[in-house]
């Protein structure tokens, strides 16, 4: 069963409000408005829906941290649709094809936390999605699903579309909040957490596109139903997985949470292209550790991927083949992360360009014997607990695992004073 994507049209055009209503759209909202906010939060918590943006935190638990004091005049609900993680393209599918599903999920979530202002924080490059979301918001307002006294319930929600400035850092929820406030997109110190003091100092929930899109189905069908969609009920629901790289059918598919990496690559992505062989894969976008051939039968759920030494992240797999230089592969990622650092803390601001410089030297045949020790030092110095946010630790994950699994390639660059794959960087 594929509740998120079954009704997405093959021509890429978004479902209109009329089409969505014919499929049962906004019936979950009607049901939710007859429940208490606490009942909705409990149902979502029991469903074991974990945040699909990469963190994997229980969604209902996150909502439960929002204070429900009636004296609080304003709360905010924000959809993180920035999707700037390299190798990740799952949310775009939902944004362009199923905008009303997203809006209905946001409406239910807003009611659960009693938010009165909602924002879709959209990646600047998603022009088609922006057009579709604007149209969907206008349709929903005209039909009484957004605005004042929604469906006669006394609940109000004003929805806004905000186009981001095009920085990876905006995917971090507190940097996103600063950007929304018109400030530099740097992360905030926590605590206080956004659930207590977020946008403009008010209680705020930030969730991902795929996360919100699950909500109408949970409310319609129940927590037990959602949990049982998964191969591992501890991580409920389906998941949109993606595969990119030298595979025969790169793309994205909605599958039960917990399918194996092998099934993703060999069955859904069609296996490796002729003449290419699998060496490794980043299981959840660029900021995750490599998994290699011994991990192909690992279940792609949060716990199993963590036990294998990586993170599920966004669930979008980037495949490394035997014709691509692992050093050049990682250099490309570190170059991106160095550019996208907000510069707020010294380890990230100085350390990422340093690692990128060393990797560039290795690719150009200018590597030195102690370079691998220096790179290994950086994976620790820029690791968890040493930086202000998770950008640099995430950037170190592909590097530290490449040093572990592909060390011979690094050493070959140094000893032969060239890239054995013929790469040079200018």
Per residue, the 3-state secondary structure of 252-282, as one string, reads EEEEECCCEHHHHHHHHCCCECCCCCEEEEE
Q: Indicate the residue among 196, 228, 260 that finishes a domain.
A: 228
In a domain, 32, yes or no: yes
Same-domain check for residues 38 and 157: yes
**pLDDT confidence tier of residue 166, bands split at 50, 70 and 90:** confident
Same-domain check for residues 278 and 384: no
pLDDT tens across 388-423, in order? 999 999 999 999 999 999 999 999 999 999 999 987
Q: What is the pLDDT of residue 423?
A: 79
Yes or no: say if 413 and 371 are a contact pair by the CB < 8 Å rule. no
What average pLDDT score do residues 371-385 get?
96
Which domain does 268 fall in, by range? 238-321
Q: What is the pLDDT of residue 159?
A: 98
Look at residues 167, 168, 170 and name the one whose alpha carbon lies nearest to residue 206.
170
What average pLDDT score do residues 145-149 get?
97
Mean pLDDT score of the chain, rounded to an integer? 96
Same-domain check for residues 155 and 201: yes
Yes or no: say if 283 and 300 are a contact pair by the CB < 8 Å rule. yes
Yes or no: say if 174 and 191 are a contact pair by the CB < 8 Å rule. no
Q: In whole angstroms, how far apart are CA 388 and each of 286, 316, 346, 376?
A: 19, 26, 9, 20
Look at residues 281, 269, 238, 231 and name the one whose alpha carbon lies nearest to residue 94.
238
Same-domain check for residues 109 and 252: no
Same-domain check for residues 218 and 82: yes
With a cut of 80, say whether residue 426 has pLDDT above it: no
Same-domain check for residues 84 and 214: yes
What CATH number is attached to the domain comprising 120?
3.40.50.11540
Q: What is the pLDDT of residue 424?
A: 79
Q: What is the pLDDT of residue 70?
A: 83
In a domain, 5, yes or no: no
| Residue ranges in 293-345 assigned as alpha helix (H) | 302-307, 326-340
Helix (H) or strand (E) run with residue 81 in it: strand 76-81
Q: What is the pLDDT of residue 71?
A: 86
Same-domain check for residues 45 and 181: yes
What average pLDDT score do residues 47-58 get?
92
Same-domain check for residues 315 and 330: no
What is the number of domains present in the chain?
3
Token pair listed for 172: 């971090």
What CATH number is attached to the domain comprising 330?
1.20.1440.230
Give DSSP secondary structure letters for 216-259: HHHHHH-HHHHHHTSSSTTS-SEEEEEEESSBSS-EEEEEETT-
Same-domain check for residues 36 and 151: yes
pLDDT tens across 62-108, in order? 999 999 988 898 999 999 999 999 999 999 999 999 999 999 999 99
Same-domain check for residues 188 and 74: yes
Q: What is the pLDDT of residue 12?
A: 87
Token pair listed for 307: 């036990």
Same-domain check for residues 201 and 299: no
Same-domain check for residues 393 and 304: no
In a domain, 6, yes or no: no
CA 287 – CA 310 distance, rounded (Å): 10
With a cut of 80, say whether residue 110 has pLDDT above it: yes
CA 228 – CA 238 distance, rounded (Å): 9
In a domain, 283, yes or no: yes
**pLDDT confidence tier of residue 165, bands split at 50, 70 and 90:** confident
Yes or no: say if 414 and 363 are a contact pair by the CB < 8 Å rule. no
Q: What is the pLDDT of residue 282?
A: 98
In a domain, 10, yes or no: no
Look at residues 14, 60, 55 and name the one whose alpha carbon lies nearest to residue 218.
60
């Amino acid at each position: 069963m594929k509740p998120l994507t079954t009704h997405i049209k093959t021509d890429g055009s978004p479902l209109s409000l009329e089409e969505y209503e014919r499929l049962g759209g906004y019936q979950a909202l009607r049901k939710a408005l007859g429940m208490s906010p606490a009942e909705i939060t409990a149902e979502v918590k029991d469903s074991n829906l974990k945040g699909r943006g990469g963190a994997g935190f229980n969604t209902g638990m996150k909502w439960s941290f929002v204070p429900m004091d009636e004296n609080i005049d304003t709360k905010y609900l924000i959809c993180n649709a920035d999707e700037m993680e390299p190798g990740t393209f799952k949310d775009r599918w939902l944004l362009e094809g199923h905008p009303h599903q997203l809006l209905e999920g946001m409406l239910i979530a807003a009611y659960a936390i009693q938010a009165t202002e909602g924002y879709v924080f959209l990646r600047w490059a998603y022009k088609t999605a922006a057009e579709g979301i604007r149209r969907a918001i206008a349709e929903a307002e005209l039909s009484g699903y957004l605005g004042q006294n929604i469906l006669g319930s006394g609940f109000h929600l004003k929805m806004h579309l905000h186009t981001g400035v095009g920085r990876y850092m905006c995917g971090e929820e507190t940097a996103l909040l600063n950007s929304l406030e018109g400030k530099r997109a740097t992360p905030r110190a926590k605590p206080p957490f956004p659930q207590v003091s977020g946008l403009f100092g008010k209680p705020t929930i930030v969730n991902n596109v795929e996360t919100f899109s699950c909500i109408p189905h949970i409310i319609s069908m129940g927590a037990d139903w959602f949990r049982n969609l998964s191969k591992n009920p501890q991580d409920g629901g389906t998941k949109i997985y993606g595969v990119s790289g030298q595979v025969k059918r790169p793309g994205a598919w909605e599958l039960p949470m917990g399918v194996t990496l092998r099934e993703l690559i060999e069955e859904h992505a069609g296996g490796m292209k002729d003449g290419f062989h699998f060496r490794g894969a980043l299981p959840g976008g660029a900021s995750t550790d490599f998994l290699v051939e011994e991990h192909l039968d690992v279940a792609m759920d949060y716990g199993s991927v963590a036990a294998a030494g990586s993170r599920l992240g966004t669930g979008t797999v980037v495949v490394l083949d035997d014709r691509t230089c692992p050093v050049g592969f990682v250099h490309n990622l570190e170059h991106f992360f160095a550019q996208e650092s907000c510069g707020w803390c010294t380890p990230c601001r100085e350390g990422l360009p340093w690692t990128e410089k060393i990797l560039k030297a290795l690719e150009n045949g200018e590597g030195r014997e102690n370079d691998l020790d220096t790179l290994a030092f950086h994976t620790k110095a820029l690791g968890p607990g040493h930086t202000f946010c998770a950008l640099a630790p995430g950037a170190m994950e592909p590097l530290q695992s490449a040093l572990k699994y592909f060390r011979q390639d690094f050493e070959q660059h140094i000893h032969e004073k060239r890239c054995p794959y013929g790469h040079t960087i200018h």
